[in-house]
């Protein structure tokens, strides 16, 4: 088959091969083997590295892994490789997609989001996109695509619209004072960040304080643990 794909991970295998985790628009996450790719004369060159967006040809054999038979670069995102922070952000974005969407179920919207985020991280004027706010905005959009967007308009337990003071992963969103058992405090700024990030384009990352971003990250983690049994890496590394 021929498909577009983003290389999420690329692992050395045997003498000269690589095992790839690819994310595709219509086949979800795909595992593939590229034979002889680490030899100097390989026709794949350096294209099968993480963050490459490719036109790729895959042969389906009997095994679980597909075999790469051809690859052309759409975008290698060369600039982000020169910036440690952008590189780290790209790795975490790919890791989050790989963990949250690990099956062959198609999510073309997720593929587009990932391509958009990598293109933004590759842009010299990446601004907020490359920081913690950008990483969290991206994760919120992944939650939305997975059908796990937190409920933010009213208490996720009882529907009350006033005095929303906490966030409960089990309930799947913000909660009011009467339902705060099992929740943690969520300030208005964090609540606002989530609503804005979900409603805006990835280019328009909302501003928020360090404290609010910490609450947002905790809310995302609590949602994923309760509803998807998935744990993501921290949104940013030490450099963030």
Contact 151, 174 (CB under 8 A): yes
**Three-state secondary-structure class, residue 31:** strand
- Which tokens hold the place of 115? 């391509």
Please, what is the end-to-end C-alpha distance for the chain in angstroms?
A: 39
- Which of 157, 183, 215, 223 binds Zn ion (CB under 5 A)? It is 157
Give the per-residue contact string, 90-109, with Zn ion (x = CB under 5 A; - = no).
Answer: --------------------
Least CB distance to Zn ion at residue 177 (A): 8
By the rule CB under 5 A, 158 interacts with Zn ion: yes
From CA 93, how far away is CA 113, in angstroms rounded? Answer: 10
Please give the size of the binding site for Zn ion, defined by CB under 5 A. 7
**Three-state secondary-structure class, residue 71:** strand
By the rule CB under 5 A, 155 interacts with Zn ion: yes
From CA 226, how far away is CA 223, in angstroms rounded? Answer: 5
17 vs 180, beta carbon nearer Zn ion: 180
Stretch that binds Zn ion, among 16-24, 89-97, 133-141, 175-183 (CB under 5 A): 175-183
- Which of 57, 83, 102, 160 binds Zn ion (CB under 5 A)? It is 160
By the rule CB under 5 A, 174 interacts with Zn ion: no
* H or E segment to which residue 28 belongs: strand 28-34
Residues forming the site for Zn ion (CB under 5 A)? 155, 157-158, 160, 176, 178-179
């Amino acid at each position: 088959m021929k498909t577009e794909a983003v290389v999420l991970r690329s692992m050395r295998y045997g003498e000269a091969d690589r095992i790839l985790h690819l994310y595709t628009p219509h086949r979800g996450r795909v595992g593939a083997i590229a034979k002889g790719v680490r030899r100097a004369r390989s026709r794949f060159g350096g294209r099968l590295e993480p963050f490459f967006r490719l036109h790729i040809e895959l042969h389906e054999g009997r095994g679980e892994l597909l075999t790469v038979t051809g690859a052309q670069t759409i975008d290698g995102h060369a600039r982000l490789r020169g910036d440690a922070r952008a590189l780290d952000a790209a790795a975490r974005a790919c890791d989050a997609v790989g963990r949250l969407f690990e099956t062959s179920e198609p999510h073309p919207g997720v593929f587009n989001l990932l391509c958009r985020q990598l293109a933004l991280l590759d842009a010299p004027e990446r601004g907020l996109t490359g920081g913690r706010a950008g990483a969290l905005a991206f994760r919120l959009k992944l939650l939305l695509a997975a059908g796990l967007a937190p409920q933010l308009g009213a208490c996720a337990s009882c529907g009350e619209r006033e005095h929303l003071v906490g966030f409960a992963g089990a309930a799947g969103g913000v909660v009011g004072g009467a339902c705060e058992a099992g929740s943690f405090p969520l300030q208005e700024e964090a609540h606002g960040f989530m609503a804005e990030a979900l409603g805006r384009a990835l280019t328009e990352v909302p501003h928020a304080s360090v404290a609010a971003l910490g609450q947002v990250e905790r809310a995302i983690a609590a949602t994923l643990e309760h509803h998807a049994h998935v744990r993501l890496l921290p949104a940013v590394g030490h450099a963030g």
